[in-house]
Amino acid sequence: MFHKILVGVDGSEAGRRALERALDLSAHFNARTLVVSVEENLPAYAATVGEVQDEEGYEHAYFSEVQREVRRLAEARGLHAEMEVVPGHAAAALTRLAVERECDLIVVGHTGHSRLHHLFLGSTADRVVERAHCAVLVVR
Amino acid sequence: MESNVWLIAAAWMALALVASLISIRVGISVALIEILIGVVAGNFLGVHSTAWIDFLATFGAGLLTFLAGAEIDPESLRRHLKPAAAIGTVSFLVPFLCAAAFARWVGGWAPHAAWIAGISLSTTSVAVVYAVLLDTGLNRTELGKLILAACFITDFGTVLALGVLFANFNGWLLLFVVVTAVVLWQLPRLTRLVIARVGHRVSEPEVKFIFLVLFLLGGLAKLAQSEAVLPAYLVGLVIAGVFVRDRVLMDRMRTIAFTMLTPFYFLKAGLYVSLPAVAAGALLIVALLLVKVGSKLLGVWPLTRLFRFGRREGAYTTLLMSTGLTFGTISALFGLTNHIIDQTQYTILVTVVIASAVIPTLIAQRYFEPPRVEAVPKGDGPDVANTRPALES
């Protein structure tokens, strides 16, 4: 039913749950898996280029660890997962990559936020559902 | 409290810490948050500067300028020299003249105050541009490198204007120019020598050597009624090649700057922004922002077409070159500190500068973003990507 599954992973517990569900689905449908992490915390309106580069280095190191864990979980299921780290806004980057890489399912985790946060900002999952061109699975 | 240096330092460091935490949380640069917290502290908490804070802030501005100069990629600048020099020069000159003329004849500012307006609004924020290019992957393309090189040229125009326009043309200026020329000539060789002989020790002789040069040239600039940021930027530019090969030294300088110096500079920059003056000068703020963006459009956009950028890339480049932050606030604070502009004029300029960091960036990203460059998997290989320039054939 699904040929290529994109899953968003940010190192959080919700992201891990999404990854595990995506890997299970990939194994079930014999689908390819694209694991995407988004560097969201690069400073906008920086004072020096170095400030941006330093933050990028920090994010790079963080997501290298995340990728190691992704690889371990995929290999435990006998799967190979493609991995990418891209800068930008999570929802925009995930939905854009889903189109570019011809994915037919996006899997994201749901992180609990306060009512206030939800009212004003919504969640990445909300925005992925709004923007996606394909099916979206939000894992609680 | 007034005479208790420790408590004053604690209060300022608390503000800096809050700024860091907010910056990490919201993903906006610590510099901008420090300015905004400075605005709150100045308008609502009654915080004010002292002589020693003034020194730390001045040194912070100087070191920031030095780092900005040292961040240039000399190879990239050489490769794109002709278009970068043309676009960068026009990107400085047209907004400089337009903003100064507008402030003088429409705003009714005094001639020297109008020049400060011109300088403040001529800038381009290399860091803001870099962050946007990184976001789209364009920082790895020839177009991105050309845009960054052009931004450096624009900033060079800004610091040159700041250093020359208000200087006294006398013996001190001659001495400053001669000593600066000799130091710049010998500095790359001497810096390499210091690093090779005694570099990377716990006492950090190479950092002290660079500070010595910055203090000395800054002192001579002051004697000539010039501005210390001019030699700081030039020092950064000439030893950028050394820093490209010695990232550890660059990291240490940045750590020193961002921990102990630039927070005082940016907080102080915000401290003098008067909120009532923002409200009263709202029309002028909008008008000056339009002048800045409009004049960049007038100068830069035709050149992008001349150098055969696509329409979209041309508009994107022009908008990115309309951004400003660090040098804009440095120029405005220079004007205020030297009593060339008053607090109301300072408020107007800093507000326009901050708006110019945000608004053109948003428009560029929303409406003119060129196609994204193929993302590169990280962690498993060298940082390579499609580097074909997004120029028209």
Does the pLDDT of residue B388 top 50, yes or no?
no
Residue partners of A61: CB distance under 8 A and separation at least 6: none
CB-CB under 8 Å, B28 with A45: yes
Does the pLDDT of residue A137 top 70, yes or no?
yes
Question: Measured between alpha carbons, how far is B380 from B15 in angstroms, rounded to an integer?
Answer: 40
Residue located via tokens 């009714």: B108
Residue B392 pLDDT: 36
Q: Are B353 and B332 in contact (CB under 8 A)?
A: yes
Q: What is the ipTM of this complex?
A: 0.78
> In percent, how much of chain A has pLDDT > 70?
92
Q: Which domains does chain A have, with CATH numbers?
A: 4-139 (3.40.50.620)
How close B280 comes to chain A (CA, Å)?
26
Does the pLDDT of residue B13 top 90, yes or no?
yes
**How many contacts does A have with B, using Cβ atoms within 8 A?**
102
In this structure, what token pair is assigned to residue B232?
């700081």
Task: Provide DSSP, B14-78.
Answer: HHHHHHHHHHHHHTB-HHHHHHHHHHHHHHHS-----HHHHHHHHHHHHHHHHHHHHT--HHHHH
Residue partners of B135: CB distance under 8 A and separation at least 6: A42, A87, A88, B365
Closest CA to B88 of B165, B159, B146, B163: B146
First to last CA, chain A: 22
Write the pLDDT tens digit of every residue in B166-190.
888 889 999 999 999 999 999 999 9
How close B126 comes to chain A (CA, Å)?
7
* B25 in A contact zone (CB under 8 Å): no
Closest CA to A47 of B362, B193, B85, B324: B324
Q: Which of B27, B134, B377 sits opposite A41 (nearest CB)?
A: B27
Mind spelling out the 3-state secondary structure of B153-166? HHHHHHHHHHHHHC
Average pLDDT, chain B: 88
Residue A113 pLDDT: 54
CB-CB under 8 Å, A45 with B134: no
Query: Looking at per-residue confidence, does B16 or B313 come out higher?
Result: B16
Minimal-distance CA residue of chain B relative to A68: B379
Residue B130 pLDDT: 87
CB-CB under 8 Å, B67 with A48: yes
Residue B389 pLDDT: 35
Q: Are A40 and B27 in contact (CB under 8 A)?
A: yes
Q: Measured between alpha carbons, how far is residue B162 from residues A16, A124, B10, B155 in Å?
A: 53, 45, 33, 11
Residue located via tokens 């889903």: A98
Chain-centre distance for alpha carbon B363: 21
Residue B2 pLDDT: 66
| pLDDT band per the 50, 70, 90 thresholds, residue B390 | very low
CB-CB under 8 Å, A64 with B135: no
Write the pLDDT tens digit of every residue in B47-89.
999 999 999 999 999 999 999 899 888 888 889 999 899 999 9
Q: What is the CATH number of domain B5-166+227-367?
A: 1.20.1530.20
A8, β-bridge pairs: A36
The model carries a pTM of 0.84
Write the pLDDT tens digit of every residue in B246-288.
888 888 898 999 999 999 999 999 999 999 999 999 999 999 9
